[in-house]
Chains A and B, each alone.
Chain A
């Protein structure tokens, strides 16, 4: 990140719509060749931020640099960015080839054959070779998506902006396109900035993710850090599933000691407090997959507690259990792989539960 200058650079960017404060001081650097995601719930400002980079929205204050150049007053049609829209915005009255070639209209340095060859290459790249003559409106959702990609990438933008590009696709196709997008990005080496509300999608595809709430970046990190070391309860809750348990913390010289409702006493290191070590009453977070049920006198690899199965959800490959622990109001969720020969517990059964103190994350109350 520090070796190459950032492609996109935002400094103290604010955006107001009337009195509504949509972006509240965004500072962000996106590196060359990065797959970057803006992740957050609807209304958090992620799409506004993307449209700001594209040039569809003006900044109320702050600066935006693209490859070091100030973009103030530069309209969208003269920025080195291209966008893939949520609705794909395929021109319905043009053929697939005409859609893809649309951005080349102004390239007087290319003759007809050169343009046709570029269109051919672009369609080939997204797996639509031979589709050029098709009418755009006769395409399926996934094919429209590919045409939109080819149309944007043919201009070799410095940054490709993607506004929830997969949200209109069904689950299977979405998973397939996630892989393809990732592969395509590595292949072309262009910086991708993706807006999504789907945390799983962001984790799968991105090099780095900025989680946004209420017009601010709550945390900016790579997927693993984001998942394992969320700096706030809000981020932890938004990325995957996390159980929150009330606890009280006593700081020690190197590690702290916490008394956790339903689990008992444990030691945690400063690393497990990404937002800084709280003191006194705090909240402990623990992910479902870091806990497991112990079957038939199996010894606990780490720590052990027990509770009653309150509710369960069978997913085929996994079973999610809600376990009621003593002294905890809300049952904790844990997930078990449905391995060969492993029994699925029933509601009301008592379960022995193994947990690991290294998996704990401490948040301020």
Chain B
């Protein structure tokens, strides 16, 4: 065991350190009683956490981000459902190029998307605001949702829908009673992924935000004031904890869904 595996084991440990060391530092300094982010630690405190609600601009940016992320998640998942369903069930002229074009924002540099959207919005003389950020985020999140939902819809046996229709249901009730419950794990995944992407997206938000910055944009602005950094660390700790909880919930939901549908578990986040 120790012979050939030794090198790879060392590599694996280094790799994990590289991935997670910065994130582990986050809670350490969030509870450190000093404005200077450096070792040695000077003492335990929770004052950075209590300072969060006392920073109104920070609270507002969190609210803005949550609203943008939830709206983006719902919109891009809805668009993703339509596209994935169409791709899985219907054939139409130019299907391949159309599906390709829908997926393109996946590889498009965000800076290009951000600048070009800004140009268009300016040309149309439209005011910037949270809704323009939602627009931009929906654009980049939809391909992720389609990718996730494509496999969910693709794995669904067509004859299940035909059977429900044959047994007297309408097209819509078939979708509601059969299709939707069976692709629900995919929908939850899509919602979560797009929520997460939108929540931490910086470039598009930076370009398209109006007077109400999202959290990443606000944080970027705060980096000029070193005394605010511990609060940022505290907030980061809360966000990491929240993501772990959310992902765990999503994974439990996904496994339950698969078990209920009698399928074989072949993927997932965790």
Q: Give chain A's interface residues, CB within 8 Å of chain B.
A: 54-56, 75-78, 81-83, 85-87, 89, 91-93, 102-103, 105-106, 135-138, 151-152, 155
A88 to chain B, nearest CB (A): 8
Report the separation of the CA atoms of residues A136 and B178 in the bound assembly, to the nearest whole angstrom: 14
B-side contacts of A92, CB under 8 Å? 182, 260-263
- With contact pairs A93-B181, A151-B167 given, residues A87 and B261 touching in the complex (Cβ less than 8 Å): no
B91 to chain A, nearest CB (A): 11
Beta-carbon contact of A82 and B166 below 8 Å: yes
The answer to whether A155 touches B163 (Cβ under 8 A) is no
Find the B residue at minimum CB distance from A83.
B166
Distance in angstroms from A340 CB to nearest chain B CB is 50
Q: How far is the CA of A81 from the CA of B166 in the complex (A)?
A: 8
**Interface 0/1 of B152-164, CB less than 8 Å to A:** 0000010110111
Residue of A nearest to B170 (CB): A77
From residue A37, how far is it (CB to closest CB) to chain B in Å? Answer: 20
Dominant SS among interface residues on chain B: helix
Asked whether B165 lies within 8 Å of A89 as measured between CB atoms, the reply is no
Measured between beta carbons, the chain B residues less than 8 angstroms from A54 are 166
Q: A86-B159, A87-B157 are in contact. Are A93 and B260 (CB under 8 A)?
A: yes
Check if A77 sits within 8 Å of B165, measured CB to CB: yes
In contact, A102 and B164 (Cβ under 8 angstroms):
yes
Give which listed residue, A78, A103, A136, contacts B262 with CB less than 8 A.
Answer: A136
Q: Told that A83-B166, A103-B168, A137-B261 touch, could you supply 7 new A-B pairs with CB distance under 8 A?
A: A56-B166, A76-B166, A77-B167, A105-B169, A136-B262, A151-B167, A155-B167
CB-defined A-B contacts under 8 Å, sample of 11: A56-B166, A77-B166, A89-B159, A92-B182, A92-B261, A93-B261, A102-B164, A103-B168, A106-B168, A106-B169, A155-B168
**Contact indicator B160/A91 (Cβ below 8 Å):** yes
A-chain residues with CB within 8 Å of residue B181 when the two chains form the complex? 93
Is B164 within 8 A of A91, CB to CB? Answer: yes
Question: Chain B residues with Cβ under 8 A from A82's Cβ?
Answer: 166-167
Residues of A within 8 A of B166 (CB): 54-56, 76-77, 81-83
* Cβ-defined contact, A135 with B262, below 8 A: yes
When distances are taken between beta carbons in the complex, the residues of chain A under 8 Å from B170 are 77
- Size of chain B's interface in residues, with CB distance under 8 A? 19
Chain A CB within 10 Å, residue with most, of B162, B165, B168, B178: B168
A91 to B174, CA, bound (A): 11
Count: A-B pairs, CB below 8 Å: 65
Distance (Å) between the CB of A148 and the closest chain B CB? Answer: 8
Taking the closest CB of chain A, its distance from the CB of B94, in whole angstroms, is 16
B184's closest neighbor in chain A, by CB?
Answer: A93
Query: Could you tell me the distance in whole angstroms from the C-beta of B140 to the nearest C-beta in chain A?
Result: 32
Kindly list chain A residues whose C-beta atoms are within 8 Å of the C-beta of B160: 89, 91
User: CB-defined interface of B21-41 with A at 8 Å, one 1/0 digit per residue?
Assistant: 000000000000000000000
Known interface pairs A77-B170, A92-B182, A155-B167; A85-B162 also in contact (CB < 8 Å): yes
B79 → A minimal CB distance (Å)? 25
Tell me whether B163 and A105 are in contact (CB under 8 A).
no
Closest chain A residue to B259, Cβ basis: A137
CB distance from A155 to the nearest CB of B (A): 7
Which chain A positions have C-beta within 8 A of B262? Answer: 92, 135-138
Complex CA distance for A304 and B104, rounded to whole angstroms: 77
Judge whether B167 and A102 touch: CB under 8 Å: yes
* A155 CB contacts on chain B under 8 angstroms: 167-168
Q: Who on chain B is nearest to A139 by CB? A: B262
Contacts of A85 in B (CB 8 A): 159, 162-163
With A87-B159, A91-B160 known as contacts, the answer to whether A77 contacts B168 (CB < 8 A) is: yes
When distances are taken between beta carbons in the complex, the residues of chain A under 8 Å from B260 are 92-93, 135, 137
CA distance A83 to B160 in the complex (A): 11
When C-beta atoms are compared, the residue in chain B nearest to A84 turns out to be B163
Q: Are the C-beta atoms of B162 and A56 separated by less than 8 Å?
A: yes
Does the CB pair B169–A89 fall under 8 Å? Answer: no
Q: How far is the CB of A325 from chain B (nearest CB, A)?
A: 49
User: How far apart are the CA atoms of A87 and B182 in the complex, in Å?
Assistant: 16
- Set B159, B167, B261: member contacting A103, Cβ < 8 A: B167
B261 — nearest CB in chain A belongs to which residue? A92
Bound complex: CA of A89 vs CA of B174, how far in Å? 13
Which residues of B sit under 8 angstroms from A152, Cβ to Cβ? 167
Q: Which residues in window 116-160 of B have CB below 8 A to A?
A: 157, 159-160
Cα–Cα, bound, A87→B159 (Å): 8
CB neighbours of B168 from chain A (8 A): 77-78, 103, 105-106, 155
| Contact A76:B162 (CB < 8 A) given known A106-B168, A155-B167 | yes
Specify which chain B residues have a CB less than 8 angstroms from the CB of A89 in the assembled complex: 157, 159-160, 162-163
A83 to B165, CA, bound (A): 10
Once bound together, how far apart are the Cα atoms of A91 and B157, in whole Å?
A: 10
- For the complex formed, measure the closest distance between the CB of B215 and the CB atoms of chain A, giving whole angstroms: 38
Contact residues of B between 215 and 270, Cβ < 8 Å to A? 260-263
Closest to B181 in A: A93
Contact A77 B162 (CB under 8 A): no
Interfacial chain B residues near A56, Cβ < 8 Å: 162, 166
Tell me the chain B residues, 181-224 only, with Cβ under 8 Å from chain A: 181-182
